[in-house]
Copies of this chain bind each other. A is one copy, B any other.
């Protein structure tokens, strides 16, 4: 018998399949399409009771354990019906029963699945009207049509509330005989739209291909629309000049193995840190129950949502607004990471579990990687009197996952350092989304990044959900600013003083950054004072200094992503309230149940169980250098101790010399002879 899983273990393959079977039993004779089966994390009250016992060493076989619950999302066509009904259930796996069940209002749409995407592609391919449109383009010989399914942005006021799919259409040069040729270089100016219920193409939107002054109405080219496009490849065997030859190997070796330990597939211990990792289809990797040196810091840490609205004003591009977590579930899009490619050194991979087409659990291998890296100097001091230098390196533990969303990728990493800090990083890379533009034209809403290829301006609004537990679950958020003071004989006689102003957040609300005021956000436990400074123990959050989502306030783009209208949200914790833009984002017209609604509860947030949401919005006006694959654009949220510890927590990091480092020798570096 398998050992009892920790309450924070993701569902195993077996548990997933058991949950599926319980649902099948609950719908005798029905035809069921399973979308998601994943761990429903225990209510916090139950889980913390268990974790408290665990951390205090009181855990025994009789300690009450939260039930193993699965959240199952599925469409069921009941016996005698032909209509699939989307519903969600909570299943007690050991109790073998459904403990909660809900038919989801048709106002909301289930998130997308890969099989649905495949259906869309098939429907397009069979559609005479779609094929007719393609035929009119008279593609160059050897070119094949590629259909890229996309979520159907926000519903327009005129749209009926049905389930739609849209697709961007490209052409691949099959004569290259390489399935990985970059078809994005050849965009076709149509977007087919499918009605899911009837599996038929209901409309084909024709896209304008002009420049700034050519109007927004359709000027679709027919024949020859790709004549001015040129291939732009990224797979090495297709690169015209091949790859550069002068990059010599750089290896990370760890002869004694890594410094971390992973137990039971989800407990990570490293350098006084101890936390758990789970993986789910919506958020990807989730960090739980974070302790440092036995003290609690965070209850849970995960990316919650991302919205990517495009700014091309020509209809129907306002419907290019993906919610990459809510619409599709980025866990489904997690890359299966490969040794020696996605990180260096000694690497531990964790697998995930997804459901296959018939709802059974299936392994998703290597969806998370864990490794250590060196990040330069951690601290240094030289006593100039004696010349003695003491320098320590900054070692980091990285928990990383990578997702591919059609053309684009994100590299997400939680990086723990030795000084009690956590850096949460998002790297945007992949292929920017492009549309066809007429030869010689340019457009204010994008940049021509390749011949005939316009990369549209867009934004990425990320939301990181931080559920703190600073020495306990009752915490208080405040912000702190450093502000100028006038000269005053009593308080500031020489004018060098500035004021450090603290503003506690007393009720749930949304807040903005203010870099010119040096505004930082603190999460403190006001009940526990630092014995050295006398100030409450706390952690500081340094959000990226970005702008907010720019769409007009009465636009659909704006209203379905209300979470992106503040940089910081402070809410009072509720079980299962994890999603910044609400549970249902697909085809939404307005954010419902997201942070913008949560704060309306006006709950007190002083020494309460609070949650902090950090939204940062990368405005991406593409450069030519972003084509055909963009170099990473890096955003970082830093979460680090502020009077939490009694001294630099990394003061005991060894300053020993790294014996493997070497002097560059004469082969590369001739210091005797000038080149001139």
Contact = CB atoms under 8 A, between A and B. Distances in A.
A284 B394 CA distance: 24
B262 A664 contact: yes
Contacts of A341: 389, 391, 655, 657-658
7 contacts: A247-B271, A250-B374, A251-B660, A257-B667, A313-B492, A333-B384, A483-B550
B429 A379 contact: yes
A22 interface: no
A619 B372 CA distance: 30
A557 B496 CA distance: 6
Nearest to A393: B344
A312 B495 CA distance: 10
Interface in A39-78: 54, 59
B496 A388 contact: no
A626 interface: yes
Given A179-B388, A250-B373, A625-B649, 6 more contacts: A339-B663, A376-B413, A379-B429, A380-B402, A417-B631, A625-B641
A482 B671 CA distance: 48
Contact of A547 (B515, B540, B630): B515
Interface string A366-408: 0000101110111111111110111101110000001010110
Given A652-B244, A657-B341, A663-B346, A532 B493 contact: no
A650 B430 CA distance: 13
Interface string A318-340: 10010000000000010100111
A210 to B, nearest CB: 14
* Cβ-closest 9 pairs across A and B: A495-B555, A264-B674, A545-B545, A495-B552, A251-B660, A318-B494, A313-B497, A419-B631, A348-B664
Contact of A258 (B335, B535, B668): B668
A427 interface: yes
A662 interface: yes
Contacts of A338: 389, 391, 657
B653 A558 contact: no
Contacts of A272: 244
Interface stretch (A93-101, A441-449, A583-591): A441-449
A256 interface: yes
Interface stretch (A103-111, A192-200, A229-237, A601-609): A229-237
Nearest to A669: B262
A621 interface: yes
Contacts of A653: 243-244, 247
B248 A251 contact: no
Contact of A252 (B390, B485, B532, B661): B661
A390 B236 contact: yes
B658 A344 contact: yes
B409 A380 contact: yes
A676 B244 contact: no
A216 interface: yes
A564 to B, nearest CB: 12
B311 A381 contact: no
Given A247-B271, A547-B517, A624-B530, A496 B450 contact: no
User: Chain A at the B interface: mostly helix, strand, loop or mixed?
Assistant: loop
A252 B252 contact: yes
A455 to B, nearest CB: 9
A593 interface: no
Contacts of A642: 623, 625
A345 interface: yes
A643 B448 CA distance: 10
Contacts of A391: 338, 341-342
Nearest to A555: B495
A670 B339 contact: no
A505 interface: no
Nearest to A515: B545
Contacts of A480: 621
A80 interface: no
A116 B496 CA distance: 27
Interface stretch (A3-11, A13-21, A461-469, A573-581): A3-11
A381 B394 contact: no
B262 A246 contact: no
A252 to B, nearest CB: 6
A81 interface: no
Given A628-B651, A661-B339, A384 B406 contact: yes
A242 interface: yes
A224 interface: no
Looking at A309, A409, A625, the one whose CB has the most chain B CB atoms below 10 A away is A625
A510 interface: no
Contact of A500 (B409, B457, B643): B457
B346 A651 contact: no
A451 B531 CA distance: 10
A347 B447 CA distance: 41
Contacts of A659: 249, 251, 340
